[in-house]
Structure 1
Amino acid sequence: MDLSEKDTRKKIIDPKLELVGWMKKYIKEEVNSLKSNFKTKEYVPFSGKVERGKDRFIDYLLLDENNSPLAIIEAKRSSVDFKKGEIQAKTYQEDIEKKLKKTIPIFLTNGETWYFIDQKDRRRKVLLPFSQKDLHRRAYLFEHEIKPSQVKLNKKIVDRARSIEAVKQILKHYEKGHRSALINMATGTGKTRVSMAIIDALIKAGYVKNVLFVVDRISLSNQAKERGFKSFFSDPVCELNVEGFSDTATLYTSTVQTLTDDDNKRKRPMFEKFGVAEFDLIVFDEAHRSFYEKNNILFQYFDCLKLGLTATPSSEETRDTFDLFDCEYKKPTVAYDYDTAVNDNVLVPYVADVIDTQVLTLGIKGAKLTKDLKQALKEQEENPEVAELPGTRFERYFTDARTNELIVREFVDRCYKSDDGRPCKTIFFCASVKHADSLKEIFDKLYPVLAKDVRVITSDRSRYMDEVKRFDRYDEPRIALSVGVLDTGVDIPEICNLVFVRPVFSPIRFWQMLGRGTRNLEACRFKDRLPSKDGIHVKENFLILDFKFGDHSNVIFHKLDKSRAKSAVMDAKTRIFLEQVDLLKKKLDDKQRKILEKEIRDTIKTIDMDSPVVMEKASIIKKVVSKKFELKDHIKTLKEEIAPLLIYSKTDNSKVYYFISQCVKLFDAIKEDDKDKIWKVQDFVQERVENIWEKGLEVVQAKSDELKKVLGDKFWGDLTFDDADFLIREIAPLLIYYEKDRKKMLRVNAPDIVLSVEEIKHEIKENPDLIELLEKDSLIKKIRFGEGVTSDELLEIEKKLSGLNPTWTIDNLQNILKVDFVIFLRQIIGLKDLPDPEGIIKMEFDKYVLSRNEHYNSEQLKFLRLLKEVFVRTKHIELKDLAKHPLTEERPLDKFTLKQLEHVVKKCKELRWK
């Protein structure tokens, strides 16, 4: 939409000025920059006539409460490049400067895009015009500022040489005109104090007044307030995540969640309540793009100096983090790593015991358990003969009291202790709250003398921060069993033991955890809680007990530089959108294209057009949602301009979006005729549909016809884009009622199903007819002795077993109970530790059906691969099966002669199942 300059002002610029709080009496339009008296505040407006050489008109002149000029806005029509007004604006700026002897800033805009040129001629894009109070504050700061490098540093805040050097480097960096900086300092070297010293110097230099300190945890927000701002500043401090919104303070702390989460009443994030120039400096603690992602909305929204703090080693930090703060890759503005700090005796090194246990490393095989333990598994509805519990799933999928007892005993034997024989201050990094509770019970049972010394500290406890303070300040407790709370941001120098009883893959999180123990002796306030050497309390190092989970050791994994921080995980809505956009590149018929374009446009329409970040993209969005706009010709625009805006759309239920994300895969599968992918999605969809159907909810039953359709095989037989679209539009919204079973129930087709599953093993032991069959049947013997059976022989075995129990059929076991028929046979025969039968038969198929026959063309090979998948699933193939779904859709007689197909079927029948 191309608006005239007049309409651009009226319909776009004026509403935005009103949005940021400007009153009309402080906005002067068409002010003559030559004839106006800016000193006496006599502004001459446009009279209707222009006298060449004597008249120049400022589009907008923004005034302070005393009617003195604060800023110029040079406006252009919506279709014109806003930068074309720069020369005009600079001329008006000079006219004012000659009369007032001061420079005022400039805004260039075409309504959608705003460009700011400050008093030092530094230019940058901003989201909105600045409010009156923010422009006034910035003007005052500019008029009174001095060079930050001239400010004397407060030695009460920083006194270490390295810290003083870091502060000076950052101040010089900002002095040179840079607006972003990144400090990479190991945990314990004083990042927070360094940041406070920088803030103090910038305030004294007149560079900043309003400062926001952003963290990712409530405890860190409180720490920044109490141990940071309140310790070194007399200015009012507001903790936004506790006190709620306020714009009356000068120093603020907040969690990033508080700033970015929607307000319950306004349905808008808190940060939008602030003006874009509200803060002069924002400090981001643990400043990782992976955390502050959300398309970096805080970075986009606020115009201010930005300072990032991170303890993660540069080698582990992502390129994104460096880009975020305008740094070269792996070159933060200031760096002080762990090794250097240890060499400087600022931090202490760690010593680690990496401990293997049989259960944690090798896991548990149910078949090898004692009779009693097998019975215990059975009582939990788990088949001990097939149960395999890997150590990596300890305290997530299974628990073992004996293993936890071993962990506690090893800790007590190995840990650093104080003079009274009690463990020094210790953090256990537990896998879950239940795990922490279990360890507490074991401590109480094995070491009752330590009962008062052991506390569970988890965020689900009311007033849990009180326990954190006790752990910090008092002798008791000595041992904290924590889940998340003590991973980061807790400064307790006396900690001498760290116990990892969970795998940690994130280098960011690992180095935060490790930092809990790195403080040196000098930092310790209570020396009697430390170990002693020759009668003197020491902290030469700290101890890590690292229990391996599977083959994963936290210390080895991170020390050997195997890990790399990952960029942020993309949200489901954006991922779905990009997948749909990618499909536009494929050759689609007209109907397919229209379905896909409607899906994409409907998603775009959910974007909140009132968000300031979205406003500047309004024209692009309007073009894209217009049906005149050919989406396939603008894939780059959709990916680069529109996709990042989806975070400003309504947030739907995560279960709904996960369902949609799977259904979107059908578009590509249909286009590529990928039957295997379609089957996988079919299983996924039908499992969820059955789940919500079984609940009998009225809103679900109202869609009974649609749900029955999806549950039937006919729907999936010849799937189209319409069908995939139907799943997304009609079925997906019902997934808000989906509830995953804590333990997945076996699906059966009779009332005694659950019992029969349990009873299957029971009957195997007691049914004399079955025992006789297993002992004497010649075909069973072929499987037992490794000879294997053909598919026809497998059908004979099925017939005999179903005579003993009607549920023991290939279809029932595989499609209902989800148990492979050959694996089921192995179980009742008593065969263990054999390779996957499907893998074996696929290899055999490739060897004897594909490789040993004539050279097939690509179409024939494609069909044979499909045939292989069908054969593996059904365990048998006949010539007539080629005329059934899904094989018939491939029109095998168009690809092979009848003789060739008979030969293929014959070869399949010769393959042996083992």
Structure 2
Amino acid sequence: MNILINDFIFNQSTVDTVLEDLMIKGLKVAGGDRLGKTIIFAQNKMHAQYIIERFNKLYPQYHGSFAKRIVCDDSYAQTLIIDFKIAARDPHIAVSVDMLDTGIDVPEILNLVFFKRVRSKIKFWQMIGRGTRLCPNLFGEDQHKTHFLIFDYLGNFEFFRTNKDGLTGSETQSLSEAIFAKRIRLIHLLQQSAFIDAPYQEIRSSLIQTVLSQINALNPELVSVKLQRQYVEKYKQQEAFTCLSDRDKHDLTKYLAPIVYLDDTDEYAKRFDNLMYGLMIAQIEGLGQFQKGKKELINIGINLSKRMTIAQIKEKVELITTIGTDEFWKTSDSVTFEKVRVELRGLIKFLVDEGPNKNPIYTNLKDDILMVKEGDPLDPAYDFTDYKVKVNRYIEQHKDHIAIHKLRNNIQLTSKDYQSLEHILTGELGTLEDYKREYQDTPFGLLVRKIAKMEYDAAVAAFSEFINDQSLSQSQIVFVKKIVNHIVQNGYIESVSELMKPPFDKPQSFIKLFDSAKQKLIVEAVTSIKDNAIKVIG
């Protein structure tokens, strides 16, 4: 299908066919008299609106309330979501553009209609996850929800059968994902000694609380969340943000940013957040994007100053007029930019002029149905018990297995232990191909360590010689404890070169803190812990 179809070319016959298909074949409630709660994933706002218009034309008996468009910049969107969550209340069909792809929790959802292309595997699973919640007595007394229907009109399942990992990087990063990633970068940057003063740490603490609330709001029953369970469990604790490592920053951005969501319907405020966070990062890191962000913020100030008849804008006149001055840019830093973000984010919606959109093209060409597939079982790629999930679950539930126990307690494996792990990971839980696809050449022992971590007592024992050394200074003891905490959280240290990187490089480096003899002993201890997960005896 031409990419412009459902973008700004809308064919009446196609839309009508999809709606009639849904109304006839969709799962129903109320004794079979009413379509169950349904989400239609539309391409864009105009597409969503056209679907609503055609539905009201085809089914006038519902008086325009049965199906509603829900998009982020509709002022009534949040009210409609609240109504949609109530089983017996209209709307029963929500036509959504991105807004209901993630985050919404409605157990009564029975039908999902894919009327848009999706190419991100993570996003695809998030969308499917809208229907996976169980719901007791949905069809009557003791008649519980046990399944839901997916209507796929744009070949998404066929695409993912061919491209099991989707097209990574081919889709634009969502606004929620971009903001989360920038918050993580700022949390990481603001832990530097240059930002130790209270105003900066207040910003960092606020960012941490926001990020924690997003992570803890994730629904553990969703497949997309289950796939990243080890990261959710690790980073839902405040202690994990005390001092973020580069690895933490990477894992949070790669594995959690795509699945968190923002419970904020003001798209323009979120775009302003994204701009201001980017400006803060660019200033701290000395990036070239700073000048572009500066220009954009000045233009926003100019445009706001032209709308001083709006009461909310008038209240912020002093701050708005200051933005364009040289003095503001000479003295501004992250604290100033955060103040601007907080005070002006709610005003950005006043700058949005509706203006003429691209004129949509409406056609009414006969849309023949060439092929129908119903009830095809999903390929193993869509198995809800994904290989990674099975591996994580097994290791978490079998920590007393002799090999897993040894790895958690820094005891070297025997060849029999190794063979036992190999059988579990490439025999019971999946194949060698599954393992290599998900974990490449990671040794079995290191994988188990990453998931099961190391017991605190075992890590302390490995460094007891240093911890109990009365000749060590307080700074040296703190450094050794940092190593212990890192190993407890991550299972091991990948390379001794990490001891020269954050979080180990501040306030004093490894080289400056220890003489060559102690450096050698620490390196040997770090190496030994990793080797105990790789090398086999007997």
Higher Cα Rg: structure 1 or 2? 1
Higher share of residues assigned helix: 2
TM-score norm. by structure 2 comes to 0.35
Q: TM-score of the superposition, structure 1-length normalised? A: 0.23
Q: Identify the structure with bigger relative contact order (alpha carbons < 8 Å, sequence gap 6+).
A: 2
